[in-house]
Structures are given as C-alpha cells and as structure tokens.
Amino acid sequence: MIKLTNVSKTFHTKNGVVEAVKDVNLHVKKGEIHGVIGYSGAGKSTLIRCVNLLEVPSDGEVYIEGEETTGLPLKELRAKRQNIGMIFQGFNLLKTATVYDNIMIPLRLLGLNKREAEKRVDKYIDIVGLKGREKSYPGQLSGGQKQRVAIARALSQEPSVLLSDEATSALDPETTDSILDLLLKINEELGITILLITHEMNVVQKICDYVYVMEDGAIIEDGTTIDLFTKPKNPTTQMFLNTISQRKISDSLLEELTEAGTVIRLTFVGHATGEPLLASVTEKFSVKPNILSANIIELKNGIVGNIVVHLEGNRTENIDVLCYLKEEGVLVEELNHIQ
C-alpha cells in the first residue's frame, strides 16, 4: 500500500547540509498499522511528509498502491493526495470555522456537490463521536475533540491511507487512549491502512502491527511489535522499552541481594504469567526463585510478560534451571551474577 525504497532527504541550510532522512525502506501492507518511533529530531516528521510528498525526497522512490508518486505532475499528485488522509499534532483546523464547516469546506473545495458533502460530514462526525458539537468552534473544544474533528476531516475524503504525525503527542494519557481506540476502530471497520510517527512507546504498543525505530534519519531496527518488545537489539529500542516497563534492575536493589545466585529476565509471549513455571522450578530444583519485578504488556497482537527473578542457588544448578526454562519456550536473559 505504502512503499518507500531508499528514500533520503537532504536539506541545504545556512549551517550546512542536514541529512534528515537517510536511505529509508519501508513497506506498509493494506489494512495494517505501522509505526515509526524515534526521539525528536530523528527525522520522523520529514519521513512521513515524504509519503505524501509534502517533502520531496532527494533520492529514492515512493509508491502508493503500487504506483510511483515521486515525480508525478502537480495535478496528478493532488489527485493522489486525496487518497492519503493526514492528521497532525497541532490539529491544524480553521479557527474561524465551526466543526461542521471544518469538514465541509475541504469537501466542497475538492468538488463534491453540496448534498453528497453534507451526507459525508454527518457520517464522519458520527463516526468520531462528535454528534451535537457541529456548531462549536475549535476554540471551544478540548484537545481530544479537536483531534477528532481533524480525523473526521481526513476520513471524509474516504482515503485508503491515513498518515498520523504525532497525533496524540499533545494530548493527556487518557485522551491519547481514546484517540488510539478511534484509530483502531477506523482501521478495523473502514479498513484504512495507517502509518504513524510517534515518540511514545504506548502508542506503538497499543495499535501497531509493525514498528520501525528511527535514529539520526535512519531506520536502526524494525520488526513486528511482538518481536521488538521481546527481543529488542538496539540500545535505543531498549531505551524506548524502558519507558513502559522497567527492564533493568536498579543498582540499589542489586546491592540488597545478599544470597548468591543469578538474576535473570524471563520473557513470555502469548500467555500472561510465568508463575506456574516458576512453581515447577521450585519443585524440580533446589533453587529459590525470588521475583524482583514483573509486568505484563498488552500489545495489539498479543501479550508479553516480563519477570525478573533472582535465582538463589549455586551456579551449576542455576544453569540447569536456565536450560529447563529455555526448553519450556521462555526467553531467558542473564542479567547479573551475585557471588
């Protein structure tokens, strides 16, 4: 649906050449939700603007529904853009127009007749849950409501792709959740393919099928959300994961551990806890598993559980335990050895 091949974007500024996007490859299949995560300044915004050619890539090709859009004449590009909705961090609504007109005006400008446009406005105001607020002005709405108007405006063109540029970054956690639910709903019910950029791991966690981690303009790691949450390779990816689940045990906590043994992290995919397994460890071996931290992350396509355990026992026996756990299909990482 969306395919970028070797896309680069270089800016020539007074302070020199800035490579905002470096050789990015990305492929979003129909009906999926993909997310690009990265810190600010990583080049995410420039990247997503390359998709609808608000930024023209310096190099590489952009394909939308199999058709190359880089190099299209302006008229054809405009037609193509109508098939790509976009929502923004700053909502970008007309301040001087009502909710109704904010959705109506673009439709009329795109040549829809009045009756057809009215039908669409009503339909999408209903879908985003803003019925009754048609006559309000953006200034009278909360951030979440403004984003709903922006989503309705984007959807009213009935695009097959939706681009989301940090759409929840200006919202509080609760509102973020409700907007994410709405995005999931339109993905599922209307079959709209979504590409989003964010710096919030919980956005990825909740709605993405596939994730790209971006740093310094390049994609440094990518994979299905489950893979990335269970086997993060890059330090930056691990830092992002730390924002939602503490993956490391603090030094002060380690100092408190006096018994000899090994600190390990167990990662479970698909089932919620590892407790029955730990119970069987105590039955089978003479080590005592001491749970230091545990959490469950609910992803869009599954559940990932993390348990950090201090195995109190001697080294040889601990190694047997690790082998046993691995045989049981659990991801095991040794974090520390305590003498």
Question: Interface with other proteins by CB under 8 A: which residues?
Answer: 52, 54, 77-82, 84-86, 88, 90-98, 105-106, 109-110, 137-140, 150, 153-154, 157, 163
Least CB distance to other proteins at residue 90 (A): 5
Nearest residue to 315 via CA among 336, 284, 294: 336
Least CB distance to other proteins at residue 106 (A): 5
Task: Specify the residue, 47 or 241, whose C-beta has the smaller distance to other proteins.
Answer: 47
d(CA 294, CA 245): 9
Least CB distance to other proteins at residue 157 (A): 6
Give how far Cα 26 sits from Cα of 36, 71, 173, 194, 203, Å. 10, 19, 29, 13, 19
Task: Specify the residue, 36 or 150, whose C-beta has the smaller distance to other proteins.
Answer: 150
Task: Specify the residue, 64 or 321, whose C-beta has the smaller distance to other proteins.
Answer: 64
Q: Tally the residues of the chain.
A: 339
Contact (CB, 8 A) for 147 and 172: no
Least CB distance to other proteins at residue 260 (A): 59
Task: Specify the residue, 162 or 330, whose C-beta has the smaller distance to other proteins.
Answer: 162
Least CB distance to other proteins at residue 211 (A): 24
Task: Specify the residue, 78 or 114, whose C-beta has the smaller distance to other proteins.
Answer: 78
Contact (CB, 8 A) for 149 and 93: yes
Least CB distance to other proteins at residue 38 (A): 20
Task: Specify the residue, 97 or 239, whose C-beta has the smaller distance to other proteins.
Answer: 97
d(CA 210, CA 32): 8
Angle at 163 between CA 157 and CA 169, to 5 degrees: 120
What DSSP element (H or E) covers 302? strand 302-312
d(CA 139, CA 159): 27
